[in-house]
Amino acid sequence: MEATTFGDVWQEAFSVQTPPATWLIIATGVAALIVVVTRGPWRIARNVVTIAHEGGHAIMALLSGRQLTGIRLHSDTSGVTVSRGKPRGAGMILTVAAGYITPSIVGLLAILLLVNNRITALLWMSILVLAAMLLLIRNVYGVVSVVGTGAVVFLISWFTPEQVQAVFAYFFTWFLLLAGVRPVVELQSQRGRQPSPQSDADQLHRLTGLPGLVWVLFFGLVNVAVAAAGIWLLMF
């Protein structure tokens, strides 16, 4: 980014950029899919999914009038978002239900910026969201995870040419869009091997009376539908 004043930075960040060639958009999608299905890369990249997941809980807690206490991210790629308020009711249900569907929805929202060629805007908005989330992090690993992710996005947006930013933005968006499905599969697999009353699906079972499997299917169907919509927007 060549801007020197705040006004220049603002103007450049929200200007219209040239999208990459169609083959590059497809290539970034294939690369993102490889990361999602490959064990090693997924183990590292899943931290980004956890950030989005816990961010979904946090945003819905605030929107539903709950008092947000903090967020903790762990090295095993799990996370916890703590809020205060009524232990039951619509606000609590929406807060718990938001986590697993947030990564895919964030990916879909990012696509709306990409199809309008607001590539740098997407990167800078991601940095602002991560900065806001950092204020809520309550453990060292969480701080390292959020700062590290934000640093990568910042370095790409500030020091690389427009085409590199575009490729990164499309890869990042594809990843969020496609990555939402795998954690749902992992959730049900974990529920089968070692049931946990603290999983989102089982918490929702206690809150609503609906079986945990119903909520797992809900998460999966939403994420598959959102991914399908995102693919259609990107490719057609």
- For the chain, give percent helix, strand, coil, nearest 5: 75, 5, 20
Residue-wise pLDDT tens digits, 150-173: 999 999 999 999 999 999 999 999
Please tell me the total count of domains within the chain.
Answer: 1
Using a 10 angstrom Cβ sphere, with 0-12 exposed, 13-18 middle and 19 or more buried, the burial of residue 156 is middle
Name the H helices within 135-180: 140-159, 162-179
**What is the rounded distance in angstroms from the CA atom of residue 98 to the CA atom of residue 204?**
11
pTM of the predicted model as reported, rounded to 2 decimal places: 0.93
96 occurs within a structural domain? yes
- Exposure string of 28-66, with b = 16+ CB inside 10 Å and e = fewer, is bbebbeebbeeeeebeebbbbbbbbbbbbbbbbbeebeb
**Residue 142 contacts by C-beta under 8 Å, 6 or more apart in sequence?**
71, 72, 73, 74, 79
* Total count of residues recorded for the chain: 236
- Other CB atoms within a 10 A radius of the CB of residue 104 amount to 27
17 occurs within a structural domain? no
173 occurs within a structural domain? yes
Q: What is the pLDDT of residue 206?
A: 96
19 occurs within a structural domain? no
- The 8 Å CB, 24+ separation contacts for 215-221 are 215/97, 216/184, 216/187, 216/188, 216/191, 218/97, 219/100, 219/101, 219/184, 219/187, 220/181, 220/184, 220/185
Instruction: Tell whether the model's pLDDT for residue 6 goes beyond 80.
Output: no
**What is the rounded distance in angstroms from the CA atom of residue 139 to the CA atom of residue 160?**
31
70 has which bridge partners? 82
Residue-wise pLDDT tens digits, 76-132: 999 999 999 999 999 999 999 999 999 999 999 999 999 999 999 999 999 999 999
39 occurs within a structural domain? yes
175 occurs within a structural domain? yes
| Mean pLDDT for the chain overall | 93
Q: Is 71 helix (H, G, I), strand (E, B) or coil?
A: strand
Q: Is 199 helix (H, G, I), strand (E, B) or coil?
A: coil
Q: Which domain holds residue 128?
A: 26-235
What the block records as the tokens of 102 is 């947030």
103 occurs within a structural domain? yes
Contact 162, 119 (CB under 8 A): yes
Contact 41, 34 (CB under 8 A): yes
Residue recorded with tokens 């933005």: 169
Q: What is the pLDDT of residue 191?
A: 93
Residue-wise pLDDT tens digits, 42-59: 999 999 999 999 999 999
* Amino acid letter for position 236: F
What the block records as the tokens of 47 is 């931290």
8 occurs within a structural domain? no
